[in-house]
Amino acid sequence: MEQTNTQTVSIAASPTHVFEFIADPETLRLWAVGFCRRIRREGATWIVTTAQGDMPIRYETDRGRGTIDFYFSPAPGVEIAAFSRVVPNGNGAEYVFTQFQAPGMPDAAFAAQVSALTEELRVLSSVIRARAVCPA
């Protein structure tokens, strides 16, 4: 069994707003800044450009449950999942993100990924707050 990591961030915005923002693949580059350098659509497939190169990513979302699940394909025939959920917290929301150490991934690489997610969740909260203050 591989390691897992679950992190949570409080966001001062409605759960609906937080869900809509995160569920939109085009916003990934705005908050997952360590992971996503760029994201583009090729037909029905989303391709994220990472420091290691291009990787297909698939989103499975359920607005009613607040779930946004990410499925990454780092190599043909390989799929890695990360599961997330937006839940209400008073007038705001909590965003919960669980990631798994990929088979064969060195512990140090997973630790770096965990550290990057901590920073990315801070960025996510800041971006959503800033957008609420300065709506388009």
Q: What is the pLDDT of residues 35-57, one digit of tens each?
A: 999 999 999 899 999 998 999 99
Residue 86's contacts (CB-CB under 8 Å, 6 or more residues apart) are: 15, 18, 19, 22, 66, 68, 93, 94, 95, 96
Number of domains the chain is built from: 1
Q: How far is CA 116 from CA 36, 72, 90, 111, in A?
A: 11, 17, 28, 9
Strands 78-89 and 67-75 turn out to be antiparallel
pLDDT confidence of residue 135: 65
The residue among 59 and 1 whose pLDDT is bigger is 59
pTM of the model: 0.92
Residue 132 structure tokens: 């609420």
Q: For tokens 């994220």, name the residue.
A: 48
The DSSP H or E segment spanning 38 is strand 38-42
CATH number at residue 108: 3.30.530.20
pLDDT by residue (tens digit) across 84-126? Answer: 999 999 999 999 999 999 888 899 999 999 999 999 999 999 9
Range of the structural domain that residue 56 is part of: 4-133
